[in-house]
Structure 1
Amino acid sequence: MSAVHSEELLAQVAALPALPGVYRYFDAQGALLYVGKARHLRRRVASYFSRSHDGTRIGHMVGRIARMETTVVRSEAEALLLENNLIKTLNPKFNILFKDDKSYPYLKISGRSGPPPARDAAPEQRFPRMAYYRGAVDKRHRYFGPYPSPWAVKDSIDLLQKVFRLRTCEDTVFANRTRPCLLYQIKRCTAPCVDLISPEAYAVDVHHAEALLRGETQELLQDLEARMMAHSDRLEFEQAAELRNQIQALARVLHQQSIESANDRDVDILAVRVQGGRACVNLAMVRGGRHLGDRPYFPVHVEDAAVFEKESERAEDAPPPRPVETLVLEAFIAQHYIGVPVPPVLVSSEAVDRALLDALSEQSGVRVGAVHQPREQRRAWLDMAQKNADLQLARLLAEEGSQQARTRALAQALDLPSEDLDRLRIECFDISHTAGEATQASCVVFHQHKMQGSEYRRYKIEGITGGDDYAAMRQVLTRRYGKLVEAAREAGGIDFAAHPKGVAQLPDLVLIDGGKGQVGVAREVFTALGLDLARIVGVEKGEGRKVGLEELVFADGREKAYLGRDSAALMLVAQIRDEAHRFAITGMRAARAKLRVGGGQLEEIPGVGPRKRARLLQRFGGVRGVAAASVEDLATVDGISPDLAQEIYRALR
């Protein structure tokens, strides 16, 4: 057993049962290092501590293990599900991890399936609405998807408008129409708002739209043709002509959408590419027989996780270690389909472990199969997904290489520490207001060669004369760095290497969006706080305020510097400055909207922050519009869940 681990830990390892389960490793600071599964807990975990890993990456990682937790489960499939739930929620350092940037969008048709509601029901219930939707699903409505992107949903809505002419207007608009809108004039809606179609006929169109979304294209065409012939036999030629036009529109759309297969209605196509320590999994979706597009995913911790995974496989006498591509693909499948509907067929570029598919089937209640070497149409789909994975990974590597080159160029131009560019930290400040109203200061953070959105901060500026940008800059810099200096002095000296928890850390470079005047204010603040003036650099607009002509102004007395229009360093400075300006502008607009239209009522509702409040006010034109909206309309706003929509509805009524 290893000499670097405590006797307590080694005794815990020796006492593990010979059962399936999940284990978790922690370092001395309590940070989670790794989550793994095992058919035989004792044998697998003991292998990490009984073998010599000196001088290897696995040895470095195992040497950091200070504590362990385990959970015994009933089967390997249950262990697999628990492992990936923990990976998804706890973000361990040495597991392959896929981070979701946002939830998937759906196409929503309001109301439940079945016969049309009674004639005394609300008009919006008798004429279901078709809409883009993102959020938790509600059993009171019908949802189709998920779709890989918002554009895929909007394309489907456009398709259904052309063929079946379902309404898309919000219920508040629908209830107050007195004449048909433009969509009726261009034959994209049947104008149910002014009763130009009966609820029964509209319900038939809704039923046909759902059939198309489910991929029942042949059955749908046969039904339309039979109804057309029936009208023709009864000499109802106008109705027959309407159905003929609908059949022609449907046939044209199906041809344009390239629906070649009636057998594959719901399929996910998964292609993986690994290069340069990075990986891309490209997910393409086929729903209702239609190829809806694809979406790339880029996992983190690929290299370190691969080392741990291969060590785990050796521990249980598994077959020879699998390729990294297989490990990445299986990690994606296990994590992605947590909370996302899984289709019955997965077409993959790598062979997938049967145990993983069985676990997916158990979790979803759908029998899931995988095809590794597809033919015909599936082969074309997979080739396309693989090509897109190659392109997306090449783009990512090029962008990362370019960003690192920009960081290096800026460090060299400004004589910043260049030994470890990954640790270089830059913060940029900007002030925004409208004629002195709703003044906001923004601080954005650049670290590890990219903007760190989770570390952005906005500061509400108060107690100054409206429009005094110098006073606003003095206030935000004092608030940002004053606590840091105070905490450091209380600790016995200004040691900025150890950053107090919850306090902003001192960056290597502080960018100020402004020239000599703004930099002068920053110099005064840093002098009062006892901070190094060499950290302050102002970004002054050049002649004619043209992009690429900016000059850098220094607080420590150095002469102005012009880096050149094509300088990689100036490109990075401009990128950070523009992001600070964007972040300040959005905050100012939200604050201004609250002042002008009474957004304070929304501010008091738990769960409604500045971004959601701004979206609501923009969508409905003010608090009165929000108050008049239905729960369903509120839930269509990005970020507003059905539960939160219900809470807003109650609060404003």
Structure 2
Amino acid sequence: MTSDCQPSALDHGINVIKSVVKTLPEKPGVYRMYNRDDEPLYVGKAKSLKKRVVAYTKTDQLPVRLQRMVAETIRMEIVTTHSEIEALLLESNLIKKLQPRYNILLKDDKSFPYVLITQDHKYPRIVKHRGPQQIKGRYFGPFASNAAVDESLILLQKIFLLRNCTDNYFSGRTRPCLQYHIKRCSAPCVNKINPEDYNELVKQAIDFILGRSSKVQEFLATKMHAASEALDYEAAATYRDRIAMITRLVARQRINVEGISDADVVAILENSGQTCVQVFFFRHGRNFGTESFFLAHAQEASLEEKLAAFLTQFYAEREPPKKVLLSYQPEELDLIKSSCREHFGKVTSWEIPKMGTKKELIDHALSNAKDAISRKLNESSSMAKLFEDVASTFQLSARPSRIEVYDNSHVQGTNPYGVMVVADENGFNRRAYRKFAIKGAQPGFGGDDYAMMREVLSRRFARADQEDWQLPDLMLIDGGLGQLNAVLKVMEEMDIKGVTIVGIAKGEQRNAGRERFFMVGQEPFSLEHNSPTLHFLQRLRDEAHRFAIGTHRAGRQKSMIKSQLDEISGIGPKRKKALLQHFGSVRGISAASVHDLMVVEGISEAVANVIYSHFHDTLG
């Protein structure tokens, strides 16, 4: 027996699986394994459930990682599917949702930003968009990062002078805004440009994004010469500058690889116990950026298995481009191809180049992956050192593995929220962040920060036995001695022990660098102004403050919308959503005419009159 788990536990797990196997069909499907705390251990898919699951009973053929999993298995759940492709898609979605401990996981999986040119207004706007593509318009991307899409947006605005303001802001303008004066907008809001010329700019922008830059340059050159011949030298100079910007941008971004226009370059590398997948995004012949992904729970898996796990999770919701270049042959590549083809209704070419310029792209991606691993290891080393310094500063018995930071936000007691921010040796763990809408706030509440913190901590530690709510080693509270005592009282009442609590209060004149730290049994103290530990603690405190302010603002906006729209008879959730999507805000709805309101789906003339009367009666 190669496993380090107890034989009795392993035997029990085997018996659980054997009892399930007896009822399994020779059909495709998905299986899930759970432990005694009903936590998901593993999600797997199979072409034949019976043949696949029975393999877990032959533990001498399993790696140690899966032997441990079998030993923890108390029950299983089975879902049959019509095909193996359907099983693969279901498996990917369940892995993303459940984050099982024994599956290879794509860490920090996120949606990527796009450039959106809207099509629901006479004067389309150009904006950054992330999330479901529900707004009518054309989407270009994905871009690898916010920085990449922000840079592209600024350049597109400079070259094509398209607006980026909301429709509500646009309709309320009586004179050009700053964007016009810094030459990033043509100010259609105040008729500085007519609709025909503006839509010509939109068409040029789309041509440029799609890689037809020479066509745009020819058009601008014609305009420049015409302006010059008409002695309009200022306009000619504007066209000349736009041509120069396009030339510089194209020279920097253009790639010259035969057969590469829309492609993802995917390279996987193992080094120093880390597995990194580097992805380059090429769209319309341009580099849209690169992103590094690190896989969790991947130590004992093969490269083929790791890359297959990445591809199935990465392309579960992201449509692959026309071509995907791979550094390595993943497991079940044919199944992955079929799954993407069926799910997205398009054919993607998957290649593993061995030579030539495509192989050079793969090598470049591998080099980036190596650099990303080095940076991660250096960051981990630096973070470990900071955690050691924190342990020394606050006299902890060992380096903390989990730090929680708490803050509150409200305006004179209205829309009060408390938040919890979590940090570990990998940095901020945003998946563990939590927000608490304060339930104890009553009229006249007045923003009792002590009462808010007591409620937040009581609700937080009521979940202390849940895996995602494990106890921290260190708690940082935004506040001084009074706030610290309020927290200590909650901890005593709930019998929570083994957690060090520190209050952080801004010093004189609330200047950063003069923070005072409050702990049980100690006089308040400060750290050296240039101390790395102080800077780290400030980052933690500021992140909690940022999260608290953002949560409060979102809650206040939601409350304002709810309070105004919910007062209108006949406006339920569906109509409310349709109105907000169409007009963008309550202000936009209040400014709309009856005819404009009737354009919205589900709004009849009678309902439009009710809405119009409500706002014009209440607003005078």
Scaled by the length of structure 1, the TM-score of the pair is 0.71
1:625 Cα offset (Å): 5.8
1:344 Cα offset (Å): 0.9
Instruction: Tell me which residue corresponds to 1:264.
Output: 260
The one-letter code of the counterpart of 1:43 is K
1:388 aligns with 2:396: no
* 1:531/1:268 CA distance change after superposition, 3 Å: closer
1:7 Cα offset (Å): 4.8
1:97 Cα offset (Å): 1.8
Superposed, 1:122-137 pairs within 5 Å as 124-125=121-122, 127-137=123-133
1:195 Cα offset (Å): 5.0
Q: Does the Cα contact within 8 Å between 2:505 and 2:515 map onto a contact in 1?
A: yes
The one-letter code of the counterpart of 1:390 is K
1:73 Cα offset (Å): 4.5
1:332 Cα offset (Å): 2.1
Segments of 5+ residues of structure 1 without an aligned counterpart are 113-123, 307-322, 488-497, 631-641, 644-649
Segments of 5+ residues of structure 2 without an aligned counterpart are 1-6, 594-600, 603-610, 616-620
Instruction: Tell me which residue corresponds to 2:65.
Output: 57
Instruction: Tell me which residue corresponds to 1:288.
Output: 284
Superposed CA offset, 1:342-382 (max 9, x none): 11111223234343223323322222122333666545544
Superposed, 1:218-237 pairs within 5 Å as 218=214
Number of equivalenced pairs: 574
Corresponding residue SS for 1:299:
strand
Instruction: Tell me which residue corresponds to 2:88.
Output: 80
**What CA distance in whole angstroms lies between the structure 2 residues aligned with 1:236 and 1:174?**
33
Instruction: Tell me which residue corresponds to 1:212.
Output: 208
* 1:275/1:603 CA distance change after superposition, 3 Å: farther
**What CA distance in whole angstroms lies between the structure 2 residues aligned with 1:629 and 1:264?**
48
Instruction: Tell me which residue corresponds to 1:5.
Output: 13
Q: Does the Cα contact within 8 Å between 1:358 and 1:368 map onto a contact in 2?
A: no
* 1:32/1:523 CA distance change after superposition, 3 Å: closer
Which is worse superposed, 44-53 or 252-261? 252-261
**What CA distance in whole angstroms lies between the structure 2 residues aligned with 1:280 and 1:503?**
25
How much is the aligned-residue C-alpha RMSD, in angstroms? Answer: 4.9
Q: Does the Cα contact within 8 Å between 2:14 and 2:70 map onto a contact in 1?
A: no
Which is worse superposed, 397-406 or 522-531? 522-531
Corresponding residue SS for 1:361:
helix
The one-letter code of the counterpart of 2:127 is A
Instruction: Tell me which residue corresponds to 2:478.
Output: 513
1:329 aligns with 2:307: yes
1:10 Cα offset (Å): 0.8
* 1:159/1:479 CA distance change after superposition, 3 Å: closer
Instruction: Tell me which residue corresponds to 1:95.
Output: 103
Instruction: Tell me which residue corresponds to 1:373.
Output: 353
The one-letter code of the counterpart of 1:264 is I
Superposed CA offset, 1:431-461 (max 9, x none): 5566x55495745254654555444344647
Instruction: Tell me which residue corresponds to 1:310.
Output: none
Instruction: Tell me which residue corresponds to 2:502.
Output: 537
**What CA distance in whole angstroms lies between the structure 2 residues aligned with 1:528 and 1:174?**
55
Q: Does the Cα contact within 8 Å between 1:271 and 1:282 map onto a contact in 2?
A: yes
Identity %: 34
**What CA distance in whole angstroms lies between the structure 2 residues aligned with 1:15 and 1:472?**
57
Instruction: Tell me which residue corresponds to 1:577.
Output: 541
1:153 Cα offset (Å): 3.0
Corresponding residue SS for 2:96:
helix
* 1:399/1:534 CA distance change after superposition, 3 Å: closer
Superposed CA offset, 1:577-618 (max 9, x none): 3444444444566678899x888437999999xxx9xxx9xx
Instruction: Tell me which residue corresponds to 1:115.
Output: none
**What CA distance in whole angstroms lies between the structure 1 residues aligned with 2:459 and 2:163?**
56
**What CA distance in whole angstroms lies between the structure 2 residues aligned with 1:83 and 1:593?**
37
Corresponding residue SS for 1:4:
helix
Instruction: Tell me which residue corresponds to 1:31.
Output: 39
Q: Does the Cα contact within 8 Å between 1:228 and 1:243 map onto a contact in 2?
A: no
**What CA distance in whole angstroms lies between the structure 2 residues aligned with 1:69 and 1:513?**
44
1:88 Cα offset (Å): 2.3
**What CA distance in whole angstroms lies between the structure 2 residues aligned with 1:289 and 1:375?**
20
1:266 Cα offset (Å): 1.0
Instruction: Tell me which residue corresponds to 2:167.
Output: 171
Superposed CA offset, 1:137-156 (max 9, x none): 24742222222233333333
Q: Does the Cα contact within 8 Å between 1:177 and 1:194 map onto a contact in 2?
A: yes
Instruction: Tell me which residue corresponds to 2:271.
Output: 275
1:421 Cα offset (Å): 4.8
**What CA distance in whole angstroms lies between the structure 2 residues aligned with 1:42 and 1:244?**
69
1:32 Cα offset (Å): 1.8
Which is worse superposed, 162-171 or 87-96? 162-171
1:479 to 455, 458, 466: 455
**What CA distance in whole angstroms lies between the structure 2 residues aligned with 1:283 and 1:170?**
33
Instruction: Tell me which residue corresponds to 1:110.
Output: 118
